[in-house]
């Protein structure tokens, strides 16, 4: 079981690396420049996937659903830092609306992940 848990956290780390890489690309290199509110879907999906992966790994590690509330707070702070970080990237900017979409996505991912890990699908998701 330890290897399974380890792989789950590796998936989280890989996803975080992908997100940080994408949000660090200069504006001239970003492959798609979606207008608001369409780009919010990207924010929701990126942080939703991160929330889901964290919920999955945390539940497999035996963390309580209550501890995921604190993880949600940390993910919201991470999203805020990510938005501020983009102010340092040429051609990029920060927006409160993007941070809110990130936070909503992370929260949704944590909730969905927690519920799925408590269901019959948990066997398949291991």
Stronger pLDDT, 8 or 3, i.e. the higher one: 8
Q: Are 70 and 13 in contact (CB under 8 A)?
A: no
- Exposed/middle/buried for residue 13 (C-beta within 10 Å: 0-12, 13-18, 19+): exposed
pLDDT digit string (tens) for 69-114? Answer: 999 999 999 999 999 999 999 988 899 999 999 999 999 999 999 9
Token code pair at residue 121: 């699908």
Q: Is the pLDDT of residue 118 over 70?
A: yes
Q: Is the pLDDT of residue 5 over 70?
A: no
Q: Is the pLDDT of residue 1 over 70?
A: no
Stronger pLDDT, 3 or 76, i.e. the higher one: 76
């Amino acid at each position: 079981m330890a290897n399974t848990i380890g792989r789950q956290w590796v998936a989280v780390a890989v996803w975080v690396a992908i997100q940080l890489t994408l949000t660090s690309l200069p504006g001239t290199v970003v492959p798609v420049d979606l207008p608001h509110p369409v780009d919010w879907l990207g924010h929701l999906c990126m942080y939703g996937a991160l929330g889901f992966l964290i919920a999955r790994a945390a539940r497999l590690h035996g963390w309580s659903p209550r501890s995921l509330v604190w993880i949600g707070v940390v993910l919201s702070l991470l999203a805020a830092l990510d938005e501020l970080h983009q102010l340092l990237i040429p051609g990029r900017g920060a927006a409160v609306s993007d941070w809110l979409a990130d936070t909503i996505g992370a929260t949704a991912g944590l909730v969905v992940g927690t519920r799925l890990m408590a269901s019959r699908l948990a066997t398949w998701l291991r």
